[in-house]
Structure 1
Amino acid sequence: MAPKTATFIILAIYVAIMVGIGIYTSRKTKSSEDFILGGRSVGSWLTAFSYGTTYFSAVVFIGYAGQFGWMYGLSAAWVGIGNAIIGSLIPFFLIGRRARLMSNHLNARTMPDFFEKRFDSSSLKTVSALIVFIFLIPYTASVYNGLSKLFGMIFDLGENGHIVIIALMALLSAAYVMLGGYKATALNDFFQGIIMLIGIATVVGLTMAKKNGLSEASDALNLISDAKTPAGTLGSLFGPDPINLLGVVILTSLGTWGLPQMVQKFYAIKGEEAIRKGAIISTFFAIVVAGGCYFTGGFVRLYNTDTTGPAFDANGAPIYDQMIPELLKQAMPNILIGLIVVLVLSASLSTLSSLVLTSSSTLTNDLIKPRVKNFDDKKQVLTMRVLIAVFLVISVIIACNKNASISTLMSYSWGALSGAFLGPFLFGLFMKKATKAACWASFITGVGISVVHMVLFRLNISAFDGLTKAVADLNCPLNLLSPINAGAFAMIVSLIIVPVVSLITSSPDKKVVDNAFSSLTTTE
């Protein structure tokens, strides 16, 4: 059987299973609470896998692993370790129980809903809902972009083939989310997570085997050097640029604490025991998947040596989004290409389903419901399904831009979202004196830093050419032009500004605060 034929058969089986799960769970989705949070009764395994598969997508496997593997070599694996410890283990233990209890007590279904009821402000709810919808779009577009790169490499779809792939993936993700909501997403995530674990382990093993094992591959990396990369650093423990590598770890790890699509997993989990088990499972999942992705990415320079190849532009500059597809083409036997396609598809569809569900539920629950009379459960679920389609159409339009960098889209999305929400959400759970004024300050700085950075350094506006050149000429050890560092900076500012502003602004209403924190005395 030809490799492409086998790949198509594997894909057809995969699609049938995804849609089948959507149809099955649709029968159990009776209310908007079921659609958004699965009735708040999701167990540890489903929650852990849903958390991990939402976390890691084609953005990580195709975009970030390629870019950071090229830039930092084997030290890029630190990003995967950070994702496992800071991005998975700590938030389960630190945030999980409080987020579940407080959101349940306040009857908060979404993060904007939490902000309204925790800080007694409908305006916070409205603005945060708009931030969620706007800044989840570029993240969704980045996932589609990653998928299209891989499919384009495998199937040779021509100049506009990526548009077809993006549209098909949008239809597939919409199909099972519209049918079954959160339950369909969680059950599919579990199935997709198993595929990801098997697929990543296979990729790591074959990548090493092709270059005669870890020792020889590391030695070969240490022989590579260029203007920004001294010899002997790509195979070293901390790589050629540990300062900017730290920015990547912060953005991709700490960012999960303030992302609505991640935090919502804690709203839906069954209980405290499920949180403890979920912490261990999700950490193991992250070590294998994220660690494996970035570890594999560390070897892309060994597989992309021809500067006239498809992973380089006409000037010989690397095209990061093409690095991993080229590595896979060389390292993987044709018979296993179908497994890799399903691996990346699983990682991406699980993320996409969470993104579209988060966005549509936020708009419906937090913007439309308060303003529409007689908006019963059936109307809410129907509205969410319509908004899923709207959200996907906008994302597809953005993703069809071939020049849109996967890592750039994702960095601005995470930077704005977590830069706005991280401090308010975390201190809202732990600090009784956190104020609504502090929330506003974080919203403004988080979104402001990301948007200002994008305008100044990413939109190629001629009026700012001089500024961009001046910043580039500073030779600062921290890359000020990087949207990754801008996002990491926004998150750190959020963690600082909330307690500082809370200390100098009017104290919150004691009844509102006491009501919220009374939930934490509950014993499960």
Structure 2
Amino acid sequence: MSIGIVFLVLFLALMTGIGIWGMKKTKTLGDFFLGGRTLGPWVSAVAYGTSYFSAVIFIGFAGTQGWQFGLNALWIAIGNAVIGAGAAWLVLARRTRRMTQNLDTMTMPAFLQERYGAKHLKPLAASIIFFFLLPYSASVFKGLGHLFEKVFGIPYDVALLVMIAFTGIYLILGGYFAIAITDFIQGIIMFVGAAVMVLVLSGKGGGYFEMIGKVAENYNAHIPPASQPSALTVISLVFMTSFGTWGLPQMTQKFYAIKNEKVISKAAIVTTVFALMIGFSAYSTGAFSHFFFDLSTLPRSESGAILYDLIVPTLLTEHLPETLMALIMLLVLSASMSTLSSLVLVSSSSIAIDLYPAKVDAKTGKDRSVAMMRFLSAIFIVISYFISRFQISIIVYLMSLSWGVVSGAFAAPYILGLYSKKVTKAGAYAGLLTGTVVMVALFFILGSSRSPLAASISIIVPFLVVPVVSIFTQPPEKVLLDKAFEGV
């Protein structure tokens, strides 16, 4: 993989250069966390898309769902693009940007506190973000480290250190501006790499539609009807990965940072097209496993269990030329680094912005705030390394719970708060706690194999609880509502 090493060195050098450039544009906390709210539609849309898709979709998720679901996995791609990307921009972006400006807030916890006039809601929300997004970022680092160990022959510990170091450099130096610019470059790499990957692989089966027909035929032979996933399983997975993103702080942050509301419609189109390409490429490649493998040639452990995480890497390694494989590795790296930088930025903000108690004057506040944000970003990256390096049982559970807990906790209070003046402070607390408790309880009751169903339920239940509690509790103050909904 000498070509891959060259590509990797050039890529990391470019990311470092962008971090240094971004540092010159980062003077205030608003610059660091939101890029000064100056980002246009293309950069904002691609930043949203690259944060959406990490290496997990190309490696573990695509292989697992592609083999188990066959062509039904493509419904996930459609849901992610139409609901998770396009509809999210159209439904949430305008109100989110306007209300966060009205309330002078930069983070999800701060928005919830100011929107509902609940002084204890911010530390509670920030704690949930810290405890569940940090382990999630560590899990992405871990998966990427194993992938580079397999493909480049780089020892796992060394791969971890390299990825963490370079992610930290451009994030710590340039903040969200650097993240957005690197996301745009990484997005181009992802888009081109994904398209070429599918074209080359489908060509081996006579073209994409010919390949689809062969996959459908082989799927029924490989997976007996009795073992094929139910419609409820497919629907819950589509719902969790599509609507579930509406409540994730690292995704909604992109709406805070847009230049103005005129960019929203264009950004919605761009991010939908981007998501369609990435989703269809990933899940098509996973489904192609039914053409390239049979039950006897699937990668398996010594005990005979199918190694789903190795299906796509094995497929690509065996059937793509070296140069294209190097491009695919940059695709996977780009997907991971963009997701990781967003996760670390949001996680560190939960302390630096939402929980940091220091009050300073106008002359020094900005500098100290940015310094604190950089310091905590570095600390969070170091913690991510140790979590990735030394797997602790409780951390593994937190990784598995992270998506469902965070989305379940925030989706209802956040979305209903954008549209309804009747939601009360008590209703917001109830939604936050209900989403968290339901996900944790169902995870252990249903088991980790049914976590998509548990996550879907944990997202839906608070949308019922919040309005009911709001009916029977003290309505919000008119002054607060007038401020939040001014011009909305």
Which structure 1 segments of 5+ residues have no match?
Answer: 234-238, 459-479
Aligned counterpart in structure 2 of residue 352 of structure 1, from 299, 322, 340: 340
The aligned residue for residue 424 of structure 1 is 413
Structure 2 partner of 1:79: 76
Structure 2 residue 482 is the aligned partner of structure 1 residue 506: no
2:276 counterpart of 1:287: yes
Unpaired runs of 5+ residues, structure 2, are none
More divergent stretch after superposition (379-388 vs 96-105): 379-388
What's the offset of the Cα at 1:227? 9.1
- Alpha-carbon distance between aligned partners in 2 of 1:449 and 1:314, rounded to the nearest angstrom: 37
Number of aligned residue pairs: give it.
484
Of 293, 305, 316 in structure 2, the residue corresponding to residue 328 of structure 1 is 316
Residue pairs, 1:143-158, within 5 angstroms: 143-157=140-154
**1:441–1:497 CA contact under 8 A, matched in 2:** yes
Match of 1:466 in 2: none
Partner of residue 133, structure 2: 136
Return closer, same or farther for 1:193/1:423 CA change in 2, 3 Å cut-off.
Answer: same
Query: Deviation of residue 396 (structure 1)?
Result: 2.4
**Distance in structure 2 (CA, Å) of the matches to 1:199 and 1:173:** 21
2:224 aligns to what SS in structure 1?
coil
**Cα separation, partners in 2 of 1:220 and 1:292, compared to 1, 3 Å:** closer
Give the Å deviation of 1:223. 3.2
For the residues of structure 2 that align with 1:220 and 1:50, how far apart are their CA atoms?
33
Identity of aligned residues (%): 42
CA distance in structure 1 between the aligned counterparts of 2:269 and 2:32, rounded to whole angstroms: 27
Change (3 A) 1:411 1:288: farther
Task: Tell me, in whole angstroms, the C-alpha distance in 2 between the residues paired with 1:286 and 1:227.
Answer: 29
Instruction: Tell me what 1:48 maps to.
Output: 45
Partners of 1:400 and 1:312 in 2: CA distance: 24
Cα distance in 1 between the residues matched to 2:115 and 2:485: 9
- Give the letter for the 1:73 counterpart: G
Say whether residues 1:170 and 2:158 are aligned partners. Answer: no
Query: SS of the residue aligned with 2:486?
Result: helix
Deviates more, 1:176-185 or 1:496-505: 496-505
Instruction: Give the drift of 1:401.
Output: 5.7
Deviation digits for residues 43-85 of structure 1 (CA, Å, limit 9, x no counterpart): 1111001000010110111121111111101110110110011
Matched, 1:382 2:374: no
2:355 is aligned, of 359, 367, 380, to 367
Name the counterpart of 2:485.
Answer: 517
Q: Does 1:230 find its partner at 2:225?
A: yes
Q: 1:217 to 1:139 in 2, by over 3 A?
A: same
Relative to the length of structure 2, the TM-score reads 0.93
**Deviation, structure 1 residue 192:** 0.5
Shift of residue 371, structure 1, vs aligned partner: 4.6
Shift of 1:407: 11
Contact 2:86 2:271 in 1 (8 A): yes
1:496 aligns with 2:464: yes
- Residue 214 of structure 2 corresponds to 219
Which one of the candidate residues 178, 182, 189 is aligned to 1:184? 178
Structure-2 separation of matches of 1:48 and 1:122? 33
Q: Bigger CA drift: 318-327 or 111-120? A: 318-327
The code of the aligned residue for 1:498 comes to V
1: distance between equivalents of 2:103 and 2:282? 39
- Alignment map for 1:63-142 (pairs within 5 Å): 63-142=60-139
CA distance in 1, matches of 2:412, 2:340: 25
Paired AA for residue 55 in structure 2: A
Q: Distance in 2 between matches of 1:66 and 1:402?
A: 23
Q: What are the Cα deviations for residues 14-54 of structure 1, in whole angstroms up to 9, with x where unaligned?
A: 01110101101110111111001111111111100100001
- 178 and 256 in structure 1: CA distance in 2 versus 1, 3 angstrom threshold: same
Q: CA deviation at 1:329?
A: 0.9
Displacement of 1:455 = 4.6
Other structure's SS at 1:212 match: coil
* Aligned-partner residue type, residue 438 of structure 1: G
**Kept in 2: contact 1:421–1:494 (CA 8 A):** no
Question: Alpha carbons of 1:11 and 1:173: their partners in 2 closer, same or farther (altered >3 Å)?
Answer: same
Residues 307, 317 of structure 1: 8 Å contact kept: no
The RMSD of aligned alpha carbons is: 2.4
Supply the AA of the counterpart residue of 2:179: T
**Whole-angstrom CA distance in 2 between matches of 1:306 and 1:155:** 27
2:452 equivalent to 1:484: yes
TM-aligned CA deviation for residue 177 of structure 1? 0.5
Q: Within 1, Cα distance between the matches of 2:400 and 2:269?
A: 27
Per-residue deviation, 1:399: 2.6
Offset at residue 516 of structure 1 (A): 0.6
Residue number in structure 2 paired with 1:413: 402
TM-score with structure 1 setting the length: 0.87
- For the 8 Å contact 1:424–1:498, the answer to whether it is kept is yes
Which structure 2 residues correspond to residues 433-444 of structure 1 after superposition, within 5 A? 433-444=422-433
